[in-house]
Amino acid sequence: MRHLISIDDLTDDDLRYLVETGARYAGANGSHDRPLDGDVVGVYFRRTSTRTRTAFSAGALRLGAQVVTYGPDDLQTNTGETSEDTGRVFARMLDVLVARTAADTAEMRAWAAQDRMAVVNAMSEQEHPTQALADLTTLACHFGGVEKLRVLYVGEGNNTAVALALALSRFPGTELELRTPPGYGLPADVMARAARYAERSGAVVTERHDMGEPPIGQHVVYTTRWQTTGTSKADPGWRDVFAPFQVTTELWKENPEAVFMHDLPAHRGEEVSAEVLDGPASVAFDQAANKMYSAMAVLDWCRDGVR
């Protein structure tokens, strides 16, 4: 049974296949097979979601599956049933479980310890792997491929940044430069894992904690919201620390051909100016649309192993 809980779970071939399949679905103009006909996909979200929840629900339906949805107050875990028992029940009724939790990935790994049901991480505390797949699908659609692209990421080293670093570093010749506020960078173990991937592939991953001397000739400028969904910051003065990391049109003076990406939702006037988000360089809403196509690729890949 194939599960997707971390980008680390994927081989290089798996990762390429998922990006290429997502791009193929995006270019198919609604013309595709229904490989999930007869399957049941559970969509369980404990945190708010617009794009990811809609992407997996709509994607599953377009591939022929039926969908069962659960919110944070719908299950008997609220009355004392253990998460492990809930997972055992799911595995006897569902073919795929797509879950967004507020926890680390240990819970999802426990659900995945069986051979009946695929488990997909639709965002955990540590990582957002399906966002990275949507991001790389967008790059493949816009540039015709991912190799040798130069990406500037500006903002917190959150679960989106983690997945992006672990994915982009697997593609030869890519360059990812992260500009993260002091104290809000990528975890050291993530940087180490990305560095190992980069050494093997010939990619480059670097991180700085200032906005001085912006890089030149980037293909992509990427940011995320300053408050990751379902989290808060202990430092009451965090906004002052983040303020220099707002993405404005100033970055395009050195990178005039760059496209702008954002995982959304966006707060205009905080992490990005309205002039950038709504401007001609922005592909943020194409990126959002590609979440459905990359979700379709993930669902098809998960079930292909048992067909």
Q: C-alpha distances in angstroms, 203 versus 169, 171, 180, 241?
A: 6, 6, 20, 29
Are 74 and 22 contacting, i.e. CB atoms less than 8 angstroms apart?
A: no
Contact indicator for 251, 289 with CB cutoff of 8 Å = no
**Element of type H or E holding 302:** helix 284-304
Residues with Cβ < 8 Å from 208, sequence gap 6 or more? 177, 178, 179, 180
Sign, CA torsion 276/207/10/71? negative
Question: pTM higher than 0.75 for the full model?
Answer: yes
User: Residue 91: in which H helix or E strand, if any?
Assistant: helix 83-91
- Please answer whether residues 181 and 153 qualify as being in contact, where contact means their C-beta atoms are separated by less than 8 angstroms: no
Identify which of 186, 197, 253, 244 has the alpha carbon closest to the alpha carbon of residue 221.
Answer: 253
CA distance linking residue 181 with residue 218, whole number of Å: 20
8-state DSSP, 279:
S
CA distance linking residue 128 with residue 20, whole number of Å: 19
Q: What is the per-residue pLDDT across 89-123, written as a single tens digit (0 to 9) for each?
A: 999 999 999 999 988 999 999 999 999 999 999 99
pLDDT of residue 267: 96
pLDDT at 32: 87
Phi, then psi, of 67 in degrees rounded to 5: -125, 135
- Within 10 angstroms of residue 114's Cβ, the number of other Cβ atoms is 14
In the chain, what are the domains?
A: 7-128+291-304 (3.40.50.1370), 131-287 (3.40.50.1370)
* Locus of tokens 């050494």: 199
Per-residue pLDDT tens, the chain, 307 aa: give them: 799 999 999 999 999 999 999 999 999 977 889 999 999 999 999 999 999 999 999 999 999 999 999 999 999 988 999 999 999 999 999 999 999 998 899 999 999 999 999 999 999 999 999 999 999 999 999 999 999 999 999 999 999 999 999 999 999 999 999 999 999 999 999 999 999 999 999 999 999 999 999 999 999 999 999 987 667 788 989 999 999 999 999 999 999 999 999 999 999 999 999 999 999 999 999 999 999 999 999 999 999 866 5
Give pLDDT, residue 229: 64
